[in-house]
Amino acid sequence: MSALTVAETVVDPELPMLTLADLGVLRSVDESAEGVVVTLTPTYLGCPALETMRADLVRALASAGYADVEVRTALHPAWSSDWISPAGKAKLAEAGIAPPGPAPRGPIPLTLTAPASNVACPRCASTRTEILSEFGSTACKALVRCRDCGEPFERVKEI
């Protein structure tokens, strides 16, 4: 198996239904005579999963026979939720996590009212949903509730 194929099978430690490739944090895998160089990008600067991702990549590549692996971190360009692949978005929805819509662009608005929820409930598909909190169980998720079926669910934030 190529190093790229192996790296693409590694899953996110906090969203294990997604591979790092699905999440868009796996930026490149370069294989050469000297070894393999994998470039990762963090979703958020404080994302505690980054070190785990790095260790998981090294472990997966080692067990596939790639002994010399270097994992680099690239900050630029900043990760955007737009980089989650269509397959990744489908897997999120399947797991009950609302996938993000298009990320906002341009100047940063100050939002003084509760943000409108534009997502459909992953359980009953109702669009009568409300954002409970812009901060969820991980840095990249917000907490939403469906006003029809009453279930709370998570949504990957659009950044």
Partner 1 sequence: MPFDNAYEALADAHDDARWAYGTGFADPLASVPADVPDGVSRPELARLCVALGDDALVMSHRLQQWCTNAPELEDEVALANIGLDLLGQARWLYTRAGAVDGTGRSEDDFAFLRSESEFLNVRLVELPNGDFAELVARLLVFSTWRLAVLTRLVSYVDPVVAAIAAKGVKEVTYHRDYAARWCVRLGDGTAYSRERMRAGLDTVWPFVWELFDRAEPDLRVEFDEVLGRVLSAATLAVPTVADRADVLGKVGRDGVHTEAMGYLIADLQSVARANPGAVW
Site residues (CB under 8 A) for partner 1?
Answer: 42, 44-52, 54-56, 59, 70-79, 108, 110-115, 132-137, 139, 143, 157, 159
Closer residue to partner 1 in complex, CB, 139/149:
139
**Cα dist from 47 to 13, 52, 137, 138, whole Å:** 11, 10, 12, 8
Give me the least distance between CB of 33 and partner 1, in Å please.
18
User: Six-digit token pair at 107?
Assistant: 């100047």
Give me the least distance between CB of 50 and partner 1, in Å please.
7
User: Six-digit token pair at 46?
Assistant: 């404080």
Q: Residue 120 and residue 158: Cα distance in Å, rounded?
A: 15
Closer residue to partner 1 in complex, CB, 42/99:
42
Burial of 135 (0-12, 13-18, 19+ CB in 10 A): exposed
Tell me how far apart the 2 most distant CA atoms of the chain are, in Å: 58
Closer residue to partner 1 in complex, CB, 72/87:
72
Closer residue to partner 1 in complex, CB, 72/123:
72
Give me the least distance between CB of 64 and partner 1, in Å please.
17
Give me the least distance between CB of 1 and partner 1, in Å please.
22
